[in-house]
Structure 1
Amino acid sequence: MTGRSDRRRVTSQDVAREAKVSRATVSYVLNDSPQQKIPEDTRQRVREAAARLGYAPSAAARSLRRGRSDIVLGLLPDWPIEHALGRLVQQLTAAFAQHELTFLVHSAAHPARPLREVWKALTPAAVLALDAFPEAEAGAMRAAGIEVVMAVHGSVRSGHPAPLVPEEPIGAAQARHLVPAHRRLGYAYPDLARLGVLARPRLDGVRKVCAELGLPEPDVRTVPVYPDGCVEAVKTWLAADPPVTGICAFNDDVALAVLAALRSLGLRAPQDLAVIGVDDILGAALAQPPLTTIVRDTDTIARGLARRIVDTLAGVQVSADPLQDPLRVLVRVSA
C-alpha cells in the first residue's frame, strides 16, 4: 500500500474527446473566454463531459494563463486558534474566493517548517501576515516574485504609521462602556506573552480613556485562564484603595476566568466587580452571568483586507490608512 493513486490525471484532451470538440474549444468554454462565439449547446456538452470525467484545470496551467499564482499565503503567529481567529480565517477564505484567489494558512506554532521553505514551495501571489515579520524576509519574498507582502498587526516596513487593523479602539470601547458607573478600572492581561501584540494596544486604549477623563491608571493584572489562577487578581483588585470595580478583559476567555474566580469567592458580577470581554465567543452568552463583550465585524475586516490585496495585485494605489473596524458593545449582565 503506497498511499498513491494509480489513476491517471484527467486532461483537457480527455474532455475534448468525450465532448467531441477540439481541445481549444474545451479551453475557451472552461475559461469562459468572452471573445469566442461558441454555441450554448456546445458549451453545455463540454461542461457535462468535464463533470463526468471529474476534470479540474491544473493550478499550474491557471497560473501560466494569469501570469501569477492564485494563492494568497496567510501567516498566523503562534497564537491559540480559537473562535475569533478561526472565524476570521473562514471569512478571509470566503473573501478571497470571491476574487478567484485561494487563501492558504500556515501557522508558526512550533515545530513548524521555516517560513522561507513554505513560501518558496508555494510561490504565492501575495502574503498576508497577521503579525509583523522581518523586512529582510519580506525583501526576499519580493525578490522571488511575490507581488504583495502585507502585515495586519505590524509592518514589514520600519516606520509604518499604524497597523492595518488597530486594536487600541477595542480597549477604548471597553473603558467607555464602564466609566459612567466605575471610577477605577482594572485590566485583565493574558498570561501568554505571544499575545502581547494584541494585548498591549488594547490596554493602551483603556489607559487613554482613563487619562482623558482624569481617572487613575488602570490596575493591570496578568490573569491565567483557570479559576484558581485568577482568584488572587480579583482579591487584589477589590482590596485596592480605592477598589477596582470594573474590569476590561483582554478577551472573552480571560473575562470568563474572572467571572469564575468571582463565583469561587462567593461574589457576583456586576455587583462586586463588573467585567467586559472581547469577541463574543460561543460561551459568552452561556456564562453566569452572561458576559458583556465587544463585538468586531470580522467579515468587514476580511473583505477589506482581501480588497487591499486584490487592488495591489492589480496595480491600484491603495491607502495606507487603517481599515474601518466597526465595533459594538453587546450588553448582557456582567457589566
Structure 2
Amino acid sequence: MAEEKAKRRAVAESAARGAAKRRVTSVDVAREAGMSRATVSYVLNNTPGQSIPESTRQRVLQAAERLGYTPYAPARTLRSGRSDVVLFVLPDWPQGPTMADLVDRAAHVLAEAGLTLVTHVHAAGDDGLARLWTSLTPAAVFGMRPFSAVELESMRRAGISAVLPYTDQPGEDVGGSLWVLGVGGLQAQYLIGKGHTRLACALPDEPRLTALGRARAEGVALVCAEAGLPRPVLSTVPLDAEAAAEVIGTWRGAGVTGICAYNDEVALALQAGLRARGESLAVIGADDIPAARFAVPPLTTVAQDSGELGAHIARALLDALQGEQPDLETFPGAALHVVERESA
C-alpha cells in the first residue's frame, strides 16, 4: 500500500513539474484521476444532461486542483461561440474616480454572473475596434458613446449580439441619454427653483472633455426650454482665476445670475474669479469632490452615484444577453442628487 501511494505521489509530482513548463490540460487531469477523458470533460465543463456520481466528480476536481488545472479560455470560447468577457469601450476622457467607481461596480455585478469586465480606451480615429472584437470575442459590448454604423457592422460580423447603446448617432461622441444630460438638467432645475432665470454653462477647456461638456450643457438647455427660459450662455472656463474672472465679466453683461459648471474643478475656478472681482453669483458644480465642501463659500454640487450607474449598465447587459430589451434611459432615479451648500 505504501509503495502504491509513493508511486502515485511520484506521478503527481512529475505531472506538476511538467505543468510548470506547459499548460495543464484535461488530458493531464484524466491521467491523474485515472478516468476517461470524456468523463473528466463532462465534470470540468459542468456539461448538462450527464449523470456523474458525486464521488467521481470530487475525484476529478481534486485531481484538477492538485495539478493546478485552469480552464483554457480560447477552447471554451470555441465550444460556446463566445467568451466570458464583457467589453466596456471608453472614450479618451481623463479617467477619474467617477469612472473608476462605475467600472468597479459593473465588474462586481458581472463577476457574480460569471463574466469578466475588460475596459478599452478608444481614441478618436482609432480603427482597432474590429481587431478587438476578433481577439476577445466578447459576450457583450457597452460603449460610453454610441457606436458608428461601421463599428456596429463589424460587431455583427463578429457575432456579438448584445451591444449597448443601440442607437447609431454618427458624429456624436457621448451617449448623453445615459448620464450627462441628467447632470446638467438637475443643475438647471436647482438654479431655476432658486429663482434664477438667466443661466450660463461653464465648459471645460480640456479638449478631450469638449463633447461631454456640451452634452451636459444640452441637459441645461432642455430644462431651460421646458421652463420657457432662453438657452444658457455657453463659455469655456480655464482653470485659472484671472481667466475665469474675464468670462464672468461677459456673463454679467448678458444678465447671467446662475452658473452650471461642468464639474467642481471648473466651479472652484469660477469662485476664485468671483473673489478676484469682489462679486458673487450662484454657482453649482458636479461630482462632489472632497475640496467642494472646503471651498469659499462651500460649493453646491450634483453628486453622482457612479457605482449605481455601473451596476445599472451591467444589469442591462445581462438582460441583453438573455435576449431582452433593457431600458437605458438616463440614470436610475437615485443615482443623482444635489448636495446643497452655500454657493447657490
The two structures have a TM-score, normalised by structure 1, of 0.80
Q: Which amino acid aligns with 1:209?
A: V
1:248-292 CA-partner distances (Å, limit 9, x unpaired): 1112232232234344x1757xxx122212223344344444432
Q: Matches of 2:177 and 2:47 in 1, distance apart?
A: 36
Query: In the TM superposition, what is the alpha-carbon distance from 1:57 to its structure 2 partner?
Result: 0.4
Q: Is the contact between residue 69 and residue 125 of structure 1 (CA under 8 Å) also seen in structure 2?
A: yes
Please list, as runs of the form range in 1=range in 2, the aligned pairs for 1:245-284 lying within 5 A after superposition. Answer: 245-263=257-275, 265=276, 267=278, 272-284=280-292
Indicate the structure (1 or 2) with the bigger Cα radius of gyration: 2
Relative to structure 1, is the Cα distance of residues 150 and 23 closer, same or farther in structure 2, using a 3 angstrom cutoff? same
Structure 2: segments with no counterpart, 5+ residues: 1-18
Please list, as runs of the form range in 1=range in 2, the aligned pairs for 1:1-335 lying within 5 A after superposition. Answer: 7-33=21-47, 35-38=49-52, 40=54, 42-109=56-123, 114-151=128-165, 155-156=167-168, 165-179=178-192, 180-237=194-251, 239-240=252-253, 242=255, 244-263=256-275, 265=276, 267=278, 272-316=280-324, 318-319=325-326, 322-326=329-333, 327-335=336-344
What do you get for the CA RMSD once the two structures are aligned? 3.3
Richer in helix (by share) = 2
Tell me the secondary structure at the aligned position of residue 323 of structure 2.
coil
Aligned identity (percent) is 47
Q: Matches of 1:87 and 1:258 in 2, distance apart?
A: 27
Query: In the TM superposition, what is the alpha-carbon distance from 1:25 to its structure 2 partner?
Result: 4.4
- Which has the larger displacement, 33-42 or 49-58? 33-42
Relative to structure 1, is the Cα distance of residues 29 and 323 closer, same or farther in structure 2, using a 3 angstrom cutoff? farther
Q: Matches of 2:64 and 2:227 in 1, distance apart?
A: 66
Structure 1: segments with no counterpart, 5+ residues: none
Q: Is the contact between residue 211 and residue 217 of structure 1 (CA under 8 Å) also seen in structure 2?
A: yes
1:112-148 CA-partner distances (Å, limit 9, x unpaired): 6732232222222332211123202211221232223
Q: Which amino acid aligns with 2:190?
A: H
Q: Is the contact between residue 200 and residue 260 of structure 2 (CA under 8 Å) also seen in structure 1?
A: yes
Query: In the TM superposition, what is the alpha-carbon distance from 1:79 to its structure 2 partner?
Result: 1.3
Q: Is the contact between residue 84 and residue 138 of structure 2 (CA under 8 Å) also seen in structure 1?
A: yes
Tell me the secondary structure at the aligned position of residue 200 of structure 2.
strand
Count of residues in correspondence between the two structures: 320
Q: Is the contact between residue 28 and residue 36 of structure 1 (CA under 8 Å) also seen in structure 2?
A: yes
Q: Is the contact between residue 182 and residue 245 of structure 1 (CA under 8 Å) also seen in structure 2?
A: yes
